[in-house]
């Protein structure tokens, strides 16, 4: 089955995004890894933005991702780490909708809205089944999605807007996005990310990432988790653990029910 949102041509610019959200969740997951003190699995580990800091903080972490270009960036970054950190990394290419790692984990997380890449009921169910089967009886599963801002309707569609501009290794990167299309029946948005990369020779190249993201209201995601064998034991609106009503994210901490 086709996998979308794998940053095939844009992986090397993924980490250039230095918005706060891309930092605030790291300590949140490290805290859970410290508390649970066992093997950790991150589904959709990407460039290792969270994976590497978890490994650096002394935990054995397994990372699964479908995108070779994202994992190439992970390994390039990991090379700069200590041998202990590198030894803590167990990375494989795979599909979070269908995986078998032949072991169980104390902590499994699907961070930064990655679960929203799974559009159909079947994909979500398969991923949750594999996650359930890989979690120890006393383990925790954490999943994050964004909170829909009010009611999403046709007005969600918007022309190109700039998100940020930055310089990475002397290369200028401007990222914009276009809100292309929304499927209100199936609750899926289709944004496109565009990276304008200006090289040292002054030439600008344009790279596109066409995303598809299922959106959930708080009760819908809670029900989906319950139907698939999980009990939500904590829920937060952001990584500072504010209430779900206050924050712009939905973060569910679950155990096997
Ligand atoms: C938004 S990025 C998150 C990366 C990283 N966890 C982070 O927080 O920065 C989503 C990642 O999920 C991966 N992905 C998307 N669909 C997947 C699937 N079905 N199985 C495994 N990985 C998938 C993509 O390749 C991408 O690296």
Cβ(15) to ligand 1 under 6 A?
no
Q: Which long-range contacts (CB under 8 A, 24 or more apart) does 151-157 make?
A: 152/182, 152/184, 152/187, 152/189, 152/215, 153/182, 153/184, 154/182, 154/184, 156/182, 156/189, 157/181, 157/182
- Domain coordinates of the chain in residue numbers? 11-148+216-256, 154-213
Q: How far is the CA of 7 from the centre of ligand 1 (A)?
A: 9
Give residue 87's Cα distance to chain centre. Answer: 23
CATH architecture of 11-148+216-256: 3-Layer(aba) Sandwich (3.40)
Cβ(193) to ligand 1 under 6 A?
no
- pTM given for the model: 0.96
Positive or negative torsion for Cα 45, 100, 57, 136:
positive
Q: How far apart are CA 178 and CA 149, in angstroms?
A: 17
Top-level class of domain 154-213: mainly beta
Q: How far is the CA of 171 from the centre of ligand 1 (A)?
A: 25
Mean pLDDT of successive 10-residue segments in the chain (257 residues)? 80 80 90 97 97 98 97 97 98 98 98 97 98 98 92 90 91 95 95 94 95 96 98 97 96 97
Tokens linked to 36: 């649970």
Write down the pLDDT at residue 3: 75
Write down the pLDDT at residue 18: 63
Cβ(50) to ligand 1 under 6 A?
yes
| CB neighbourhood size of 37 (10 A) | 11
Cβ(16) to ligand 1 under 6 A?
no
Which residues fall within 8 angstroms of residue 35, CB to CB, at 6 or more apart? none
Q: How far is the CA of 9 from the centre of ligand 1 (A)?
A: 14
Q: How far apart are CA 9 and CA 82, in angstroms?
A: 29
Write down the pLDDT at residue 153: 87
Positive or negative torsion for Cα 62, 134, 4, 176:
negative
Q: Do domains 11-148+216-256 and 154-213 have the same CATH topology?
A: no
Cα distances (angstroms) measured from residue 91 to each of 18, 48, 50, 224? 24, 10, 13, 28
């Amino acid at each position: 089955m086709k996998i979308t949102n794998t940053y095939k041509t844009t992986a090397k610019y993924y980490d250039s995004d230095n918005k706060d959200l891309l930092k605030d969740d790291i300590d949140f997951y490290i805290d859970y890894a410290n508390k649970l003190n066992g093997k950790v699995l991150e589904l959709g580990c990407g460039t290792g933005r969270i994976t590497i800091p978890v490994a650096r903080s002394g935990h054995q972490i397994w990372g699964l991702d479908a995108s070779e270009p994202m994992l190439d960036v992970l390994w390039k970054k990991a090379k700069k780490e200590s041998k202990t950190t590198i030894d803590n990394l167990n990375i494989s290419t795979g599909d979070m909708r269908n995986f078998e790692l032949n072991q169980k984990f104390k902590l499994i997380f699907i961070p930064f809205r990655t679960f929203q890449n799974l559009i159909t009921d079947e994909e979500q169910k398969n991923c949750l089944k594999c996650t359930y089967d890989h979690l120890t009886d006393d383990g925790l599963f954490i999943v994050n999605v964004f909170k829909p801002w009010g009611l999403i309707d046709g007005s969600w569609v918007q022309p190109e807007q700039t998100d940020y501009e930055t310089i990475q290794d002397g290369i200028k990167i401007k990222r914009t996005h276009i809100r292309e299309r929304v499927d209100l029946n199936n609750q899926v948005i289709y944004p496109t990310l565009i990276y304008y990369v200006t090289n040292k020779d002054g030439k600008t190249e344009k790279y596109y990432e066409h995303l598809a993201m299922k959106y959930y209201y708080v009760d819908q995601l809670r029900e989906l988790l319950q139907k698939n064998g999980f009990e939500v034991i904590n829920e937060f609106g952001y990584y500072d653990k504010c209430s779900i009503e206050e924050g712009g994210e939905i973060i569910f901490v679950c155990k096997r029910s």
